[in-house]
Amino acid sequence: MVARAMKQSPTKPRNREESRTHFGYREVAEGDKQGLVNEVFAKVAERYDMMNDLMSAGLHRAWKAAMVDWLAPPKSGREYRVLDVAGGTGDIAFRIVAAAGRGARVTVCDINEAMLAVGRARAVKGGHDHACRFVTGNAEDLPFPDKSFDAYTIAFGIRNVTHIERALAEAYRVLKPGGRFLCLEFSTVDLPGLDALYDAYSFTAIPAIGKAVTGDGAAYRYLVESIRKFPDQGKFARMIADAGLARVSHRSLSGGIVALHSGWRI
């Protein structure tokens, strides 16, 4: 499968004026964030899928199923090209292939080779390799031509990128006119009472489970903190519309723990 070599950390010259961004609750230089994110996923790649089940008590499966339901890939067998960005170990891609007709082809694009390596092995084991390819690439600078996909999906990925607006502009660029954008991401809890419970669980249980299973509590603390820094449902919907996507709508799942955002290139 084709894979484009990517720099894992930017090499731009630094100066004192360099913009700052957040890495979880830490403020870091913009040029440092992607490298720090890459370290997190390189460390957890081998146990990433098991940890998803443990940390969400299996709920991530229902959220991903809801995403693919809303995508509603065609069952007719017509050609249907999907780009799953930050696709990691391939969960969304395999679900799309299973739900779609024979014409579905999913490109999994991720910046992290360790995550993609797990994905490639899972594709072979699950018999999905005829319909999936794995490509190294940055969501902010996708290695694909304009107007080349019928759908762009991204699950639990966009909060990790340094410049969300650049990733959204790239989503718009690679979609064909009539193409669909669909994002699954942690969001803002909008159910009274659930927020306090969710905070307690996230900040204590998740890093503790992460430390027990992977030996690295810090990586999981980053995951929790990055969730809290991500824009809420309404603000993220406006960012998607600002990128040029139309008919933007969203659905909260599990009281807003996660949200699906949909848009169209028209």
206 touches ligand SAM (CB under 6 A):
no
CB closer to ligand SAM, 102 vs 117: 117
Question: CB under 8 Å to 251, separation ≥6 — which residues?
Answer: 66, 70, 259, 260
87 makes contact with ligand SAM (CB under 6 A): yes
Does 111 bind ligand SAM (CB under 6 A)? Our answer is yes
Verify binding: residue 92, ligand SAM, rule CB under 6 A. Answer: yes
Query: Using CB under 6 A, which of the segments 21-29, 99-107, 136-144, 193-201 binds ligand SAM?
Result: 136-144
Stretch that binds ligand SAM, among 9-17, 133-141, 226-234, 252-260 (CB under 6 A): 133-141
Strands 20-23 and 26-29: antiparallel
Of the residues 23, 24, 32, 41, which one makes contact with ligand SAM according to CB under 6 A: 41
Cβ nearer to ligand SAM, comparing 79 with 165: 165
Give 65's Cβ-side CA count (13 Å radius): 5
Stretch that binds ligand SAM, among 10-18, 34-42, 198-206, 245-253 (CB under 6 A): 34-42
3-class DSSP assignment, residue 141:
strand
91 binds ligand SAM (CB under 6 A): yes
Which is nearer to ligand SAM, 154 or 189 (by Cβ)? 154
Residues present in the chain in total: 266
Separation CA 50–CA 20 (nearest Å): 33
Contact status, residue 206 vs residue 220, Cβ threshold 8 Å: yes
Of 58 and 77, nearer to ligand SAM (C-beta) is 58
Q: Encode burial over 57-80: b for 16+ CB neighbours within 10 A, e otherwise.
A: eeebeebbebbbeebebeeeeeeb
Q: What's the rounded Cα separation, in Å, for the pair 223 and 143?
A: 26
Which of 55, 118, 160, 222 touches ligand SAM (CB under 6 A)? Answer: 160
